[in-house]
Amino acid sequence: MDSGLSGLVDGAERRTVRRTRGMGHGGITRLMSPSDLGELLKPFVFLDRIELRGVGPMQMGWHPHSGIATVSYLFEGAASYEESNGSQGVIPAGGVEWMRAGGGVWHTGGSAEAGTLRGYQLWVALPAALENGPTESRYLSPSEVPTVGPARVILGRVGEVTSPVPSPEGMTYLAVTLAAGERWTYQPPAGHTVAFAAVHTGALVGPEPVAQGELVVFAEGDGALRFEAAVATDLIVGSAVKHPHDLVLGRYSVHTSPGALRQGEGEIVRLGRELRAQGRL
């Protein structure tokens, strides 16, 4: 069974060059960070796989970011969120949380209900023009996330289908569900030389096998990504124009220069004082 995407060109197939199962802590597995695979896959610089079962409602502590955007997507469960810019709510399974930290924001979140929480949180390094700009939040209900074949378009575009999330140009991020035996081909847009995939449940058998819990990095290039599911499989796929800047790292921040990092961390400190004065920290 084949599930092609309309408008594909028949490019050379890209092979995988790196793979990892990351490092787990409880139900959270760090698959990528800015100091390791994030250097290969930038602007995708951080990825957590979430697999929490039998949990009750819970909240993480408040923490800050600057210079990045966070993208949360759930295959199962519901997550709460609250941000220092006043945004708050609940994301159901199939919904999307996009939070552009820009020059600085604090946020918190966690499981919104008892049961299972399965999904991913991705960090995207912002271009220089946005890294210290205003914060921006966008939340999509499941019905607002467009689909193309087996793929849900979280960020960017596939063919003529574009996500309503206002992400920077030059990146696409997809959640894909394949039936057992289903084959699917994704041709990234022109210039998207970096690409990865991570299997959340199930397994891929070809052209190269990818097991549940693995993340694979594809060779840089302009070829197609081809997948075949051994069993019913959920995965995520990202492709992008490579971020042209060095990654300058703070504890919760990623910037393009030391000066930009100092500016972002200064705003984080200022916002933290405000939140403490309001009794929120």
Express each pLDDT in 156-215 by its tens digit. 999 999 999 999 999 999 999 999 999 999 999 999 999 999 999 999 998 889 999 999
In a domain, 85, yes or no: yes
Count the alpha carbons within 13 Å of 20 in the hemisphere toward its beta carbon.
18
Residue 144 is part of which domain span? Answer: 2-257+265-276
The pairing of strands 2-3 and 183-186 is parallel
Tens of pLDDT, residue by residue over 262-279, are: 999 999 999 999 989 988
> Can you give the pLDDT at residue 1?
61
Per the model's pLDDT, the better-predicted residue between 12 and 4 turns out to be: 12
In a domain, 178, yes or no: yes
d(CA 42, CA 195): 10
The pairing of strands 78-83 and 105-111 is antiparallel
d(CA 175, CA 216): 15
Mean pLDDT, the chain, as a whole number? Answer: 91
Q: What is the rounded average pLDDT of the residues 133-138?
A: 93
State the total domains in the chain: 1
In a domain, 64, yes or no: yes
d(CA 64, CA 106): 4
Q: What is this structure's pTM?
A: 0.92
Residue 247 pLDDT exceeds 70: yes
CATH number at residue 7: 2.60.120.10
Tens of pLDDT, residue by residue over 33-81, are: 999 999 999 999 999 999 887 665 556 678 999 999 999 999 998 888 8
In a domain, 281, yes or no: no
